[in-house]
Amino acid sequence: DTAVSQTPKYLVTQMGNDKSIKCEQNLGHDTMYWYKQDSKKFLKIMFSYNNKELIINETVPNRFSPKSPDKAHLNLHINSLELGDSAVYFCASSQDMAQETQYFGPGTRLLVL
Amino acid sequence: GENVEQHPSTLSVQEGDSAVIKCTYSDSASNYFPWYKQELGKRPQLIIDIRSNVGEKKDQRIAVTLNKTAKHFSLHITETQPEDSAVYFCAAKGNFGNEKLTFGTGTRLTIIP
């Protein structure tokens, strides 16, 4: 009955590798987001999608490519991982773009060695 | 774009006392101000929010006040309990549907038993 879920929960990988994080919401929401939380706990938006359409792209390196196969899923693929990509990545969703309340997933802790 | 500043970055209060966290925002068009609580290792969760047509909102021991003229809003927690220990984030969002939620830098609140 989890509202917003992410996999994997933990990801440890070497520099230069490519990895993906998956997010699914079963709330029937139209809008989904990816946030990055760094070691200082700063929460910054990376992308938002509304009904599979990219709405916000926050000056994120193009090594990061989100993909929304349907409105219940928003995946994040990262190419050529760098040390600075180490962070916790949170997926979130909201009813639609006008509804402000966002529900966060449990997070994916990424460590790049 | 919007800039949200949050103070203090850390706050310790004795159990039973009150805690106040303050945020300022830069964009006068912002009209939605949520507060999120993030416990250690967990996801951010919405605890209370306020819209710009309201000056104050209360939910049991938690209240939020908004001063639109001064562009600042505050979170008040009364009768603090150990389970209130967490990182608290304020955020601000503009009026248009595709505007992002901009988070403050977080306040680590510790309740001393």
Give per-residue pLDDT as tens, B5-20.
Answer: 999 999 999 999 999 9
A70-90 pLDDT, tens digit per residue, is 999 999 999 999 999 999 999
The burial class, CB within 10 Å (0-12 / 13-18 / 19+), for B92 is buried
Instruction: Check pLDDT > 90 for residue A58.
Output: no
* Count of CB pairs separated by less than 8 Å, A with B: 49
For B38-71, the pLDDT digits (tens) are 999 999 999 999 988 889 999 999 999 999 999 9
Least CB–CB distance from B100: residue in A40, A41, A45: A45
> Pick from B32, B43, B49: which is nearest to A107 by CB?
B43
Asked if omega into A69 is within 30° of 0 (cis), the reply is no
Place of tokens 């916000």: A56
List CB contacts (< 8 A) between B106 and chain A: 41-43
pLDDT of B98 reads 64
Q: What is the 3-state secondary structure (H, E, C) of chain B?
A: CCCEEEECCEEEEECCCCEEEEEEECCCCCCEEEEEEECCCCCCEEEEEEECCCCEEEECCEEEEEECCCCEEEEEECCCCHHHCEEEEEEEECCCCCCCEEECCCEEEEEEC
Task: Tell me whether A89 touches chain B (CB under 8 Å).
Answer: no
**3-class SS at A84?**
helix
Which of B35, B39, B101, B108 is the best mutation test for A, with the most CBs of A within 10 A? B101
